[in-house]
Chain A
Amino acid sequence: MADLQITSVTKRFGETPVLNGVTLDIADSEFVSLVGPSGCGKSTLLRVIAGLETPDSGAVSIGGANVTTTRAADRNLSMVFQSYALYPHLTVAENIAVPLRMRQLTHLQRMPLIGGLLPGARGHRQSIAAAVNAATEMLEIKSLLDRKPGQLSGGQRQRVALARALVRDPAAFLLDEPLSNLDAKLRVQTRAEIAELHRRLNATFIYVTHDQVEAMTMSDRIAVMMGGEILQCATPEVIYEDPDDIRVAEFIGSPKINILPIERVGHQLQIFGRPLEWRLPPGSPQIMQLGLRPEMVHLTKRTPRLRGRVAHVENLGAEVFAHVMVDDGAMRVTLRASPAEQSMLVLGAEVGLGFNTRAAMIFDADGKRLRKIETMVGTAVEVA
């Protein structure tokens, strides 16, 4: 187990920049997710950490040692691939034993027939068999040991790939979208199992996913990547509640956060031409954006801040999501309501919407968070 430092790593494929100076510190036994839309460079970053890609500049160090130029085989990392990448010609037991055989046995000892006769090989073989046994027991795949990967289901292959990764005691585990080829039910189950595995092994995990739910549920910290940069790296709570960037706010959270344009007119703040009661400090920008999570928006009859018509209702049982068209149908606002309020949410009905100004997030036109203005707005409301 070890900590990892990634310092100003850049990488381009031909003319296309993929990583633009990524810096990330990962503490020992931390579970960090790299999350972002496809093509954001998260897999490339993982491959740079693994040693499968060489960065154009920057450094990677594991446990304090600079490994930027070290081969993948010598970095002592384990990796689980999206396609599982099991050796098709080996049985499950042999697949899991490969990392140990390659590292613990010498060339001669790996030879068929004579390998077994060499001094020391026997002890090594027994310890390898014991480690394979322990790994398969942990993942409950003991009954599959003699099968070939071609005879396994997707979920079973995934477990074998996990077992192959954790049969050793690596500095860190790298997981590249390991759940994306599983069906939805199995994904939820395996998600919990991987999180539990992390707690049990107390090892460093770096987990790449495009699925924000996986990142939110499993990680100690989430690094949201976009366009080859890490936009923000923080705990799931901070990422969700206090994003630095509008792209982070939009990527994390389902349904997506509502972004509404707001405008400064003199000292007053207006939304869709209607004045909000907030007063703005001098020097604030002209155009800003207001971020409202669906659960921050509520139905109200008295002095609504927004009015609109219900366009779509999704009843999930425990909660109801409604899409309301505001600004004469130009913008869509999603809100979360309780099932009790569903009677108000008739398609086409006009409803009033309110929101808590303290929870609202304000971003500038480029999407950077304007925390200073938010605090001032907050106090302004109290005064008002």
Chain B
Amino acid sequence: MTREWWKHLVLVLGAIVVLAPFYMMVSYSFKSPGEIDRGEGGFFGRQETMIDPRCVALRQPGRAEIEDASSRFPGQDDADVQAALLAETENDCSMRPVVFNYTKAFTEAPLLRYLLNGVIVTVSIFLIQVVVALPAAYALAKLRFWGRETVFGLVLFCLLIPVHAIALPLYIMLAKLGLTNTYAALIVPWTISVFGIFLMRQFFMTVPDDLIDAARMDGMSEFAIVWRVMLPTAIPALLAFAIFSIVAHWNDYFWPRIVVTGNRDLFTPPLGLREFKGDGDGSFFGPMMATATVIVTPLIVVFLIAQRRFVEGITLSGMK
């Protein structure tokens, strides 16, 4: 205990640094704009009913409405009717900050559509990555062919290339093919994951050769071995790769921002955050943080479910 305390101290400090932004995000998603601006209200805010100024502004009673409503308020002049209508509107537009933030998150922008796009893009990327990476990794790990080491060297080399360095040429290629503003533009550049090939190759190296020879003796073709023997034994490693891949592409802001220029139907969740970036009239931090919370929740839930196997995969515990 006495000798271990400083390790725990370091870990606790690290955890605070990592968790602080999440704390802010969730806290802001609960608070009213005033509380956010003034930095008060603790974690949950006071949750006093607030009036949505934009809602009121949009429903300002006009001349026609005052005339229509005058029958409801007999014996009152127009100013009184207007005041009464305004009070009704304010009543309609008042709500708790948390309700305000989260309803805004879903109504101001088609967040569900963005979430669906996110699922389509990340799942497609992951599936195609697996279809490419598993046979490639199997060949690099278990088949003997001329130039294997060179090819593996190229894989390692590709690991060193930052995405941003090739973003522009990729964009130009996609633009020339007329693929910008399509799902293909969001998916195709990521379908070959050298990291996936590398990770799976390292895992396959730990699979005993006898198992593959037994599969050959049992009448399997090389592709059957990949899908029927290697894939099931590699589930932990595949899960680790799935987390890396899905987190990276679900959270990616950079690439969708480049290739999806106009069509909001193709926005992925991180692009949805832009909806609340009020350029001139200040940002809507409450709804923005509510959106951010909605976006990260699926990832955190998936990670918690897969946590145990994920750690197994990272440590590449292999077989036996």
Q: How far is the CA of A84 from the CA of B214 in the complex (A)?
A: 9
Would you call B214 and A79 a contact (CB within 8 A)?
yes
Would you call B319 and A73 a contact (CB within 8 A)?
no
Contact (A99, B213) CB under 8 Å given A83-B208, A88-B233: no
What size tier do the contact residues of chain B reach?
A: 10 to 19
As a 0/1 sequence over residues 286 to 314 of chain A, the CB contacts with chain B under 8 angstroms (1 = contact) are 00000000000000000000000000000
Would you call A89 and B233 a contact (CB within 8 A)?
yes
Q: Which of B150-202 contact A (CB under 8 A)?
A: none
Some 20 contacts from A to B, beta carbons below 8 A apart, are A50-B213, A51-B216, A52-B216, A72-B213, A73-B219, A74-B219, A77-B217, A79-B217, A81-B213, A85-B210, A85-B211, A85-B213, A86-B214, A87-B214, A87-B215, A89-B232, A98-B215, A98-B218, A99-B219, A102-B218
Ranked 8 nearest A-B pairs via Cβ: A85-B214, A89-B232, A102-B219, A85-B210, A72-B216, A99-B218, A81-B210, A73-B219
Contact (A79, B213) CB under 8 Å given A85-B208, A87-B229: yes
Selected from B218, B221, B235, the residue in CB contact (under 8 A) with A164 is: B218
B56 in contact (CB, < 8 A): no
Query: For residue B224, which residue of chain A has the nearest CB?
Result: A102
As a 0/1 sequence over residues 307 to 320 of chain B, the CB contacts with chain A under 8 angstroms (1 = contact) are 00000000000010
A219 in contact (CB, < 8 A): no
Would you call B319 and A50 a contact (CB within 8 A)?
no
- Chain A residues, CB < 8 A from B221: 73
Which interface residue of A51, A72, A85, A90 has the most chain B CB atoms within 10 A?
A: A85
B95 in contact (CB, < 8 A): no
- Chain A residues, CB < 8 A from B220: 73, 102
CB within 8 Å of B: which residues of A? 47, 50-52, 71-74, 77-79, 81-90, 98-99, 102-103, 164
Contact (A83, B218) CB under 8 Å given A88-B233, A89-B232, A89-B233: no
- Chain A residues, CB < 8 A from B319: 88
**Nearest-CB distance from A19 to chain B (Å)?**
17
Q: How far is the CA of A87 from the CA of B208 in the complex (A)?
A: 11
- Chain A residues, CB < 8 A from B216: 51-52, 71-73
- Chain A residues, CB < 8 A from B210: 81-85
- Chain B residues, CB < 8 A from A79: 213-214, 217
- Chain A residues, CB < 8 A from B213: 47, 50, 52, 72, 79, 81, 85
**Nearest-CB distance from A373 to chain B (Å)?**
47
- Chain B residues, CB < 8 A from A71: 216
- Chain A residues, CB < 8 A from B215: 87, 98
Give me 11 other A-B pairs in contact (C-beta within 8 A), A85-B213, A87-B214 excluded. A52-B217, A72-B213, A72-B216, A73-B220, A77-B217, A79-B217, A84-B210, A86-B214, A87-B229, A87-B233, A88-B233
Query: For residue A102, which residue of chain B has the nearest CB?
Result: B219
Q: How far is the CA of A103 from the CA of B216 in the complex (A)?
A: 12
Query: For residue B216, which residue of chain A has the nearest CB?
Result: A72
**Nearest-CB distance from A62 to chain B (Å)?**
14
Would you call B217 and A72 a contact (CB within 8 A)?
yes
- Chain A residues, CB < 8 A from B219: 73-74, 99, 102-103
- Chain B residues, CB < 8 A from A83: 208, 210
Q: How far is the CA of A99 from the CA of B224 in the complex (A)?
A: 12
- Chain A residues, CB < 8 A from B232: 87-90
Q: How far is the CA of A84 from the CA of B211 in the complex (A)?
A: 8
**Nearest-CB distance from A179 to chain B (Å)?**
15
**Nearest-CB distance from A287 to chain B (Å)?**
46
Which interface residue of A78, A98, A164 has the most chain B CB atoms within 10 A?
A: A98
- Chain B residues, CB < 8 A from A85: 208, 210-211, 213-214
Query: For residue A87, which residue of chain B has the nearest CB?
Result: B229
- Chain B residues, CB < 8 A from A78: 217
- Chain A residues, CB < 8 A from B208: 83, 85
Q: How far is the CA of A125 from the CA of B208 in the complex (A)?
A: 30
- Chain A residues, CB < 8 A from B217: 50, 52, 72-73, 77-79, 99
Q: How far is the CA of A126 from the CA of B1 in the complex (A)?
A: 62
- Chain B residues, CB < 8 A from A84: 210
Q: How far is the CA of A14 from the CA of B42 in the complex (A)?
A: 71
Q: How far is the CA of A73 from the CA of B319 in the complex (A)?
A: 24
**Nearest-CB distance from A168 to chain B (Å)?**
9
Q: How far is the CA of A84 from the CA of B217 in the complex (A)?
A: 13
Q: How far is the CA of A99 from the CA of B214 in the complex (A)?
A: 10
**Nearest-CB distance from A90 to chain B (Å)?**
8
**Nearest-CB distance from B70 to chain A (Å)?**
68
Q: How far is the CA of A309 from the CA of B233 in the complex (A)?
A: 61
Q: How far is the CA of A284 from the CA of B147 in the complex (A)?
A: 57
**Nearest-CB distance from B256 to chain A (Å)?**
35
Q: How far is the CA of A216 from the CA of B269 in the complex (A)?
A: 72
**Nearest-CB distance from B180 to chain A (Å)?**
38
Q: How far is the CA of A84 from the CA of B210 in the complex (A)?
A: 8
Q: How far is the CA of A214 from the CA of B189 in the complex (A)?
A: 59
Q: How far is the CA of A333 from the CA of B217 in the complex (A)?
A: 47
Query: For residue B211, which residue of chain A has the nearest CB?
Result: A85
Q: How far is the CA of A26 from the CA of B83 in the complex (A)?
A: 107
Q: How far is the CA of A86 from the CA of B212 in the complex (A)?
A: 10
**Nearest-CB distance from A23 to chain B (Å)?**
24
Q: Which of B202-240 contact A (CB under 8 A)?
A: 208, 210-211, 213-221, 224, 229, 232-233, 235
Query: For residue A72, which residue of chain B has the nearest CB?
Result: B216
**Nearest-CB distance from B224 to chain A (Å)?**
7
